[in-house]
Structure 1
Amino acid sequence: MTVLVVDLANVVGARPDGWWRDRAGAATRLLGRLAALPAEVPGPDGGVLELGAPVAVVEGAARDVPAPDGVRLVRAPGSGDDALVAAVVELTAAGEQVLVVTADRGLRTRLPDGVRCAGPGWLRERLDA
């Protein structure tokens, strides 16, 4: 089983659909779609990926959005990147397999060795399927 850790601001910002007019609303909509992800999806490597409950890092104007059932929110008090790295370190230390969804190259370099990453396009394809 793989825990999907989502850089929510990065994924929201990857699609120019007017999210900047209502950041919290855009985050809430994306979280609802994350909660509805099936337990098995095509992975970024083409294989089948069995998912556990996703973890979404929220920050800034989206920090106080409600958490939908089935999604764990990490509410970043400051830097969302710092909160995401801390969550991934905690999960990997507990022996969890993690897939981080972000396009942020700087953030990717801060993750523990062996943590897999996928871009927002991969996740958007899964959500749109």
Structure 2
Amino acid sequence: MTVLLVDAANVVGARPDGWWRDRAGATARLLRRLAAVPGRRVDGVVVGEVVVVVEGAARDAEAPPGVRLVRAPGSGDDALVATAADLVARDRAVLAVTADRGLRARLPEATAVTGPGRLLAVLDRLDVPDRLDVPDRMADNGPG
């Protein structure tokens, strides 16, 4: 199965939904949605693992089960490239999600790439809530 490697800042910035008012909160919402992706298809491949590169204020985000965070100490792009290189060196199939052409050019040749719009479309089809205050549909939070 493929590792989905997500450029969180790029995906968060792909929709003008007010993310700029709360970058950390927007990243937390994305991470929650990404937790539903393992075992699903994105761009024709089955995702086995989700790895998300976070930077800046988003570094403090908590990873939900099913999502591994790479907390970039500096440049998120540098961290994403290093993570992709490490995964490819370990013979892992990688699908990176970013619209950044400069970043795409720096990724190892064996890395497949897709844009944020395709990932967001998958999340939309899964009907994964993008708000933290939406109750978990799987939990039984009320009486009988």
1:82 equivalent in alignment to 2:78: yes
Higher-Rg member (1/2): 2
Task: Return the alpha-carbon distance in structure 2 between the equivalents of residues 86 and 4 of structure 1.
Answer: 15
**Cα distance, 1:122 vs. partner?**
0.4
Match of 1:24 in 2: 24
**C-alpha distance after superposition, 1:2-43 (max 9, x if no partner):** 000000000000000000011000000000000012513252
**1:70 corresponding residue in structure 2:** 66
Aligned partners of 1:42 and 1:2: how far apart in 2? 10
Identity of aligned residues (%): 66
Question: Does residue 1:52 correspond to 2:48, yes or no?
Answer: yes
Give the gaps of 5 or more residues in structure 2.
Answer: 126-144
Residue 98 of structure 1 corresponds to 94
For 2:41, the equivalent position in structure 1 comes to 41
Q: TM-score, normalised by structure 2?
A: 0.84
Ranges in structure 1 where 5+ consecutive residues have no aligned partner: none
Q: How many residues align?
A: 125
CA displacement 1:33-56 (0-9 Å, x = unmatched) = 00012513252xxx3x21112000
Name the counterpart of 1:117: 113
- Displacement of 1:61 in angstroms is 1.1
